[in-house]
Chain A
Amino acid sequence: MAEIIDDEILIEQFRRGDESAFERIVERYSADVAALANRLLGWPGEVEDVTQEIFLAAFLGLKKFRSECSLKSWLFIITINKCRSYRYRWKLRHLQAIPIPINGIGMRLPPAEEGDSPMNAEDFQRVRLAVAALPARYREPVVLRYLQELGTDEISRILGISKNTLHVRLSRARKHLREKLTEIIE
């Protein structure tokens, strides 16, 4: 609640011309935005460009923001839109039929962290491919629900769909993922 009030204060300050309020918004939300962008784009690891685009759009649109949702949700909406156009532009450039993680450039397998029981590289790649192969309308709810751990209300608001539609899309996404990933579990 305190955070929401703080957000409103920051927005009001920004509207009055205090650009330092925007710096504080960036500090508060850049990590979350970058993490979401990273997941939506299939874990490319480097999301600085797209994050820059997201916050540019936020800077330009913040004065018109009417607080129909929280500032965080609003930033997530911008993130989803920017990631969509980023993927689209990438597809146009590469025109590859086989869906691969969108950031083909510099794609790396992250090193295993000590003490963790991470996935092996092959399984990770399969999960990555399976998620990347999902259509955007299924992938986005999957990322927001299972990775960002947002509630159905908030996801519905962010994606602009009803809860019923959200449940249907999640169900279909799970079906796709089951087909691709059952072997990993087995």
Chain B
Amino acid sequence: MTEEEIKKLLREADKTAGGIAPVRVNLSAIRRRAGRRNMIILVAPLASAAVLMVALSILALMFRTAEPTPEQEKIALLETQIKQLQARTDAALGLIQEVLEEERKQSRLDELQAQLASIPDPLEEVQNQVDKTAFVLVYQADRLYRELNQTDSAVENYNRVIALFPENRWAKVARQRLSEIENKKNLIKQI
């Protein structure tokens, strides 16, 4: 079946259908409907806005005046309690952290002090050496005087101690010894 045959068939059918009666377009009806439509276009947004406002006002009133149910009250109370516990927990945790920090610092301090303490005091060391030296000199002087009867050497040593370590306690001892020797000499002279 060719295109022309199809076209011919369709045209025959169209002819068979016959023409239609002249159509009367009702212009006044069109104008009326167009006017109504324009009115709707103008009014519809305003009406929608008004309805929305009323709905929102009703909702606002409902939420304001509505009494909370017992379950809602319980939930609200529990939420408050949870918040309070949370705050207390946070505070306690903060405190614990502070304490731990303090302990850490103290521990470090103790460590450093122990280290410091373990280091010998050099002044003390020197003092000890001085003391030792003064003692040895006094001891030698004592031996020279009491055991070896070398009074002059003993006096020399005593004087050396006094000269070198005047503030030392063994210098004091040395002075006492010198005083004893002087007294003994004076006694012998009197006799």
A: which residues have CB within 8 A of B? 19, 22-23, 26, 30-31, 34-35, 38-39, 43, 45-48, 51-52, 55-56, 59-60, 110-113, 116, 118-119, 123-124, 127-128, 131, 142, 146-147, 174, 177-178, 181-182, 184-185
| A residues near B6, Cβ cutoff 8 Å | 146, 174, 177-178, 181
| Contact across chains for B20 and A38 when beta carbons are under 8 A apart | yes
| Contact across chains for A39 and B16 when beta carbons are under 8 A apart | no
Complex: A51 Cα to B182 Cα, angstroms: 159
Q: Which residue of B lies closest to A116 (CB)?
A: B15
Answer whether residue B68 sits at the interface, using C-beta atoms and an 8 A cutoff: no
| B residues near A127, Cβ cutoff 8 Å | 9-10, 12-13
With A147-B14, A185-B1 already in contact, 4 other A-B pairs whose C-beta atoms are closer than 8 Å: A38-B17, A48-B23, A52-B26, A118-B15
Residues B24-73 near A (CB distance < 8 A): 24-27, 29-31, 33-34, 37
Size of the chain B interface, CB-CB below 8 angstroms: 29
Majority secondary structure of chain A interface residues (helix, strand, loop or mixed): helix
| A residues near B31, Cβ cutoff 8 Å | 19, 59
Complex: A184 Cα to B14 Cα, angstroms: 15
Complex: A21 Cα to B135 Cα, angstroms: 143
